[in-house]
Chains A and B, each alone.
Chain A
C-alpha cells in the first residue's frame, strides 16, 4: 500500500519562506509530484522529482531524498495568491499516483 504524510496546515507572512514536508512509503517508487490546488479548482502541476536533490523553478523548489522517503516543497517570496492546498503525490511501481491529504497554506499580509 501507499502512505503519504504531510502537515495539515501552515501559515506564513507575505514575502516569507515556507517549507512543506512530505514523507512517503510506497510499493516501488517512480517519482514524487507536487501539485497546487486552489479551493474548488483542479490540482495544477508544480514539480516532479525522481532523483535525489533539489529542483528549482522560480519561487518554488522541490527536494527529494529517496533513501529517507522524504520530500519538501519550498515556497519563497510568498504572495497572497500562494494561499492554496499543496498536494504531495508519489508514483508507485504501477505508475499510479497516491496523494497525501494536502497542506493548506495561508499567507497573511
Chain B
C-alpha cells in the first residue's frame, strides 16, 4: 500500500448533480495530482496542487475544480455531472518539481446515471 487514501470508494450520481472526492496524501508529500481514468484507457491528468495552489491543469473544463488543504489533503469537485464523467478518479501524491515517483491511491469509482 502507498499510504494514499481516497474516499468514497464508489459513488453513484445522476446527471447535473455535483460531487466531491477526497484524497489524503502519503506522509511527507506536499503535491497531489488528480487523474481521470475511463474504462480501458490510461489515466488523464486533471490538475495538480502544490502547497494549496493549483500547479498545472490538463484539458478539463472549469466544472472540474479542486482544493488542497494545509495538511496537504485534497478535494476534487465536479459540477453539472455528465454521463461521460463516469470513470475511476485517482489521486497521486509526490514531492514537487522533480521526477519523483507519484504514488496512487485506490481511486474512487464514479458512476453517473
Contact = CB atoms under 8 A, between A and B. Distances in A.
Interface string B27-58: 00000010100001111110010000000101
A18 interface: no
A105 interface: no
Given A44-B104, A101-B42, A91 B90 contact: no
A30 B42 contact: no
Given A42-B90, A87-B43, A102-B41, A50 B99 contact: yes
Nearest to B97: A95
Contacts of A97: 33, 43, 45, 102
Given A87-B42, A101-B40, A31 B106 contact: no
A35 B101 CA distance: 10
A97 to B, nearest CB: 6
A101 B2 CA distance: 23
A99 B35 CA distance: 10
Contact of A91 (B35, B58, B99, B104): B99
A45 B101 contact: yes
A94 B35 CA distance: 16
A2 to B, nearest CB: 9
Contacts, number: 56
A96 B42 contact: no
B105 interface: yes
A25 interface: no
A97 B109 CA distance: 21
A101 B56 CA distance: 21
> Most chain-B Cβ atoms within 10 A of its Cβ — which of A45, A97, A102?
A97
A99 B43 contact: yes
Given A42-B107, A96-B56, A33 B101 contact: yes
A4 interface: yes
Contact of A102 (B35, B42, B45, B102): B42
20 contacts: A31-B99, A33-B101, A35-B104, A41-B107, A42-B90, A42-B104, A42-B105, A42-B107, A43-B90, A87-B42, A87-B43, A95-B96, A95-B98, A96-B58, A97-B43, A99-B43, A99-B44, A101-B40, A102-B41, A102-B42
